[in-house]
Structure 1
Amino acid sequence: MTELLSPTLGGAAAGLGVAMPMGAMSVLLLQEAMRHRRTAMAAAAGIAAVDLAYAALATGLGPWVASHIAPVEAWVRLASALILLGIAAHGLRTGWTAPTPPAAEPRGPATPTPPAFEERGPGRSPGRPAPPAPSGPARPAKAFARYVGLTAVNPTTALYFAALTTAQGASLATGAAGAAFLVGVGAASLLWQQALVAVGALAGARISDTARVWTFRLGYGLVAAYAIKIAFPLPTPG
């Protein structure tokens, strides 16, 4: 069991790295929870399902790719690390400069407008409009499908997991290690999204600016730390 602990913890760190930075999807989830907690729980599961699906796809392809590039494996790890560091740097810069979302009203039929130029996930560019807020509480199944669709349009999430799993191709080559990695990703992402639902349901107001900044620091800090970890040992010329 101990040999599965490392990929499970690695998956959990990867899942938190992609889930913690708060953008438009997180704001929408908080607003959903303020109106209808059960619907928000289904929406949170939809977001986590997409993270898990991208991780599963990357985990399935990563070892195969890594096995065909063994002679330059160290350089591939370094390139993957640089991609992840770029994602982390871009996300941190965007997180500190993106407009602050307007305050949500705890009561009344009006739905606050989500931030216009901010999107969820590592590396989201601040130039695309955020998805519109739902007009009212939807059935859980409909909310799940809607949030799956909104989250799946972020190709950077796929790139994030592809860089991670390709760099760790050898360690995830066995079915057990790959499954443990996915368990960590899915559990961490789902727990984080459900924590946001709980915050939205209990607080009845948007998350504070200070807390939001810290989610960017912690989330993208995890991405940067993971990048440094997979970069070593560094390749040697020759």
Structure 2
Amino acid sequence: MTGAFLAGLLAGYGVAVPVGAIAILILGLSARHGFRVGVAAALAVATADGLYAALATLGGAGLARVLAPVAGPLRVVAALVLLGIAAHGLWRTWSGRRAREVTETPSGRGLHTPGRAYAALLGLTLLNPATVLYFAALVLGRRDAADPDPTAAAWFVTGAFLASASWQLLVAGGGSMVGRVLAGPRGRLVTGLVSSALIAALAAATLLSG
């Protein structure tokens, strides 16, 4: 139970930490329309991450049962997918730093109520298929994927949700000082590197679990 929860926490932080357009939008909404709107937006992103974690857990378990005879190679493939995601994140972080990219902050017009902010951010986050690929690789790489414990699966999803929620709430409630640090070039570099390191660690754990 504890292991599944910690794995979910690590997975949730791995996908949530990079500061991109969504995080900047949350920051902007919180600054312009108040903390309640920022909290609603943050929880919407965490909800989407939790839904994707649950979808990957349920779908990945079914697929893993079919692929049980090749469980060893399956873990290798899952680890390679995670390493690819980590490498891609590292490349985006580093290339953005070299090019000194400045991403235009989404305006968030019309999202001045908690309900509207929640609905909009939930939809925006669910439109990212890379998130479900990420969680699917994690689930398929687990040694118990073919015969998962429902309680452990629930703890994994809970950990992923709480990790994402805690980070997004930090962005929403950090105010101008923390927000500017996270959204600035150095903040994006650090969060990108941390995320890639977390995902690479998950890939290594997947390989060693065999």
TM score, norm. by length of structure 2? 0.90
5+ residue gaps, structure 1: 103-112, 115-131
The residue aligned with 1:28 is: 25
Stretches of 4+ aligned residues off by more than 6 angstroms: none
Q: 1:44, 1:211 → 2: CA distance? A: 19
Which protein is richer in helix relative to its size?
2
| Aligned residue runs from structure 1 range 202-221, under 5 A | 202-203=176-177, 206-207=180-181, 208-221=184-197
Task: Tell me which structure has the larger Cα radius of gyration.
Answer: 1
Query: Which deviations, in whole Å up to 9, do the C-alpha atoms of 1:68-118 show, x marking residues without a partner?
Result: 21211010010011011001101111012224436xxxxxxxxxx42xxxx
The residue aligned with 1:167 is: 141
Alignment RMSD: 1.8
Q: Deviation at 1:159?
A: 0.3
The residue aligned with 1:106 is: none
Matched, 1:229 2:205: yes
The residue aligned with 1:149 is: 123
| Aligned residue runs from structure 1 range 92-171, under 5 A | 92-98=90-96, 99-101=100-102, 113-114=104-105, 132-135=106-109, 138-168=112-142, 170=144
> Aligned pair count?
203
Matched, 1:190 2:165: yes
Letter in 2 for 1:182: V
Matched, 1:180 2:178: no
Structure 1 vs Structure 2: percent identity of aligned residues?
37
What SS does structure 2 have at the residue aligned with 1:142?
helix
Q: Deviation at 1:220?
A: 1.5
Q: 2:43, 2:173 → 1: CA distance? A: 13
Q: 2:29, 2:15 → 1: CA distance? A: 20
